[in-house]
Each structure stands twice: as C-alpha cells, then as structure tokens.
Structure 1
C-alpha cells in the first residue's frame, strides 16, 4: 500500500498574547476587535482548531492626568480625581483594577501607591487604571460597554487641571489555563475526524500539545483559545 501522510500546521497568523497571571488569573485579550468569520483571519497558515468561548469581562483603560505646572500640585490634583473615580465606580456598576501583569483591585486603601508616569506632554503626569464590567452573554454589545464606561469617565469631577482620557475597550478572561484540557479535547476530536476520512486503516499523531496556551479575540464578546500544534495522518 502506498504510504500517505497529511500534515496540518496550526500556526497562527496574528501574534498571540502569552498566558500571564493577572488578578485572579484574569488576563486582557489585546488582539484588535474583529470577528473570526472575517475572511482576513483565515488563510492556509492559521489555526482553525481551538476553543471559542464568551469572555468574562470588558475592560477599558482610564488615564487619570494632571497638567499643572507644579509637580506637587499635579500629584494632588491627579490623586483627588483618582479618589473620586474610585468612590463613584460601585454606583456605576464598574470595578477598577490596575497593573501590568498582576491586575489588582484599585481601592481607597492602595490608590496612592499606584505609579505616576509621564503623561505624553510637558508638565503632565498620568496614572493608568482599567475599568472592568462583566460580559453578560453573547447579546451584549461591546459598544454598549464602551458607552457605559465613557459615561462614567465623563461623570468624574475634575480637580484643578486634572482630566481623564480613555483607551480602546478590550476583552478579558479569567484563568485561561483552566481551558487547556478543553482545547486539547477539541484538537483530538478534530484530528480523529480528519483521520476517519481516510478510512479505518489510518491513524493520527498530534504534536505540540504540551506547548503554551494562546488566545486572541474572536468577536465582540468571544475569545478563541488554542495551542500551537500540528498533526500527521498516516497508515497505522
């Protein structure tokens, strides 16, 4: 019998975000918002095997700034507006978190410990936090979450020359690694379906399932999780 081998690579076209512990394992999905049904996300090199699930949160960066000339005054104004933001967040149904890799709740007890950085303009200081609200099912639109957070940011009273700027709304998921086994099962089932097309005399060998878990934004409210892998179908 002539030997036949079919190799299907699962490399992703987009640069994925690596798994990083944040808060309770919450990670921000930084891929640009685009539905995976969009043709631009499919080509011969992209993985189409993985797990798609609803994200846990919408997150939007908030930049609390002050551009007063005096450095001490900038700090006082910035912290005053940040405090007002924290005090008003619960009433708006918004949680505030901060950090690069380990996102922690922003509270009245710890907000003064947040790092104050350069605000992009002379004599401007800035603190970055994130506004976070739950995704309440696939029918909730990102634009609705965006409007809610924008309205909240505009409601915060300024102190002196303080002001708030916002960034783009993204998705976040809690502890992505908890879905590793589901991703592996999905890959295994799909590989077996491919092998079955060649008859009972063929089996499948899968490689790479011990590699890192990746994710990217799949739609307005969904995240696509996958493991960079390949499988080969050959006679048993």
Structure 2
C-alpha cells in the first residue's frame, strides 16, 4: 500500500512569487534498480503537482521490503551508488528522462531519507533533477528484516532564470548597414590621424628606434 505525503513546494522566494511564466501540471515518475527481477528499473513511486505555481506536491511511494534493504546493503558494502531514474512530464512535454544517484551507504545511514530537487525554467521546463541524502538527525535505524521500511522523501523546486541571449540578428544588420554606408561614402570617419594610421606609424617608429640603437654616434675624441 502506497503512502500519500503532501509537501509544500518552494518555487521562489516571496518577492519573486510570480517568477514563472508558465503554470500547469507536473508529473515525475520515480524508478530505481532495486528488487526489479530481470528489469533494469522498476517503479518506486511518483511526484505529482496539479499546479507548479500553486506549489503543492503529492509524493506517492512504495515501502522497502527486506529484499530492497538487502540489495541496498550489498551496494553499500561495495561503495556503489543507489540510482534513481525519473521520467518528467508536463502539459508541454512528455517523459524527459533524468538519471540521478547517491551513495547507497549514505542512503542507508540516513534511514531511507532523501531530498529530491528539480530545477525549472520560467517556461516550466525541468532542466535538471538531483537526489541527496536527508538529515541523519531526523531518521531512525533501518530494520534489515522488516517488510515495511518507509521512504521519507522531500521535494523542492528551484527556479532558474534564463540568461539573456545576445541579439545576433540586430548586430549583423547594424554591421551590414555600416558596410553599405561606407561603400556609398555616407559614413564619415571622425577618428584622429593617429587612430586612422597607427598601424603604419608604429612600425616606422620601431624601425627608427632600432636603427638608432644599432648605430650610436661616436664619442668625441679627447684633445
């Protein structure tokens, strides 16, 4: 029986409460590679939001049985990772796969407590997702023989501002207009004489300096 857990979702700080251009539902299928028989991944649960902007998420997950714990313990002894595959869906896109992982030993030591974070662009697109072990001070020891080890997961959204893109088209148009104006003689060059011809003046100056150093004037003869 899956347990429904409701968590408040942090989208942005209060001053930026409406920083998302997009609002709609978000669904994240959670799959892992523990106790999956012959399949590489099998279901661990899901995270569902009816509205990203409203910020309320529902986490629906399985409980680990003793087989899950034994496999996780074997990974921990080998210092391997516990892998989580997520399939992210929105109203605009379908099943974008993102894989993340943590150390199996850390996951065990934290009492199956983890933190899942999703990074979302203003248009609602999820560009990254991370998995992190929870706080050990708030967890209890794992009962390896138990058939009901519940997962304790928290989910947060982090808002990502897109960097402004360079206006390449406008720059090219500006350069093209300046080229056409020069060809027609409409563009006046208001630069100083040195700014216009420095590439010719500098080599001459260097040549004169070198010539003077190589042929110094002879010292006057003593009488």
Same topology, TM > 0.5 = no
The structure whose Rg is larger is: 2
Q: TM-score, normalised by structure 2?
A: 0.23
Q: Which structure ranks higher in relative contact order (CA pairs < 8 Å, sequence separation ≥ 6)?
A: 1
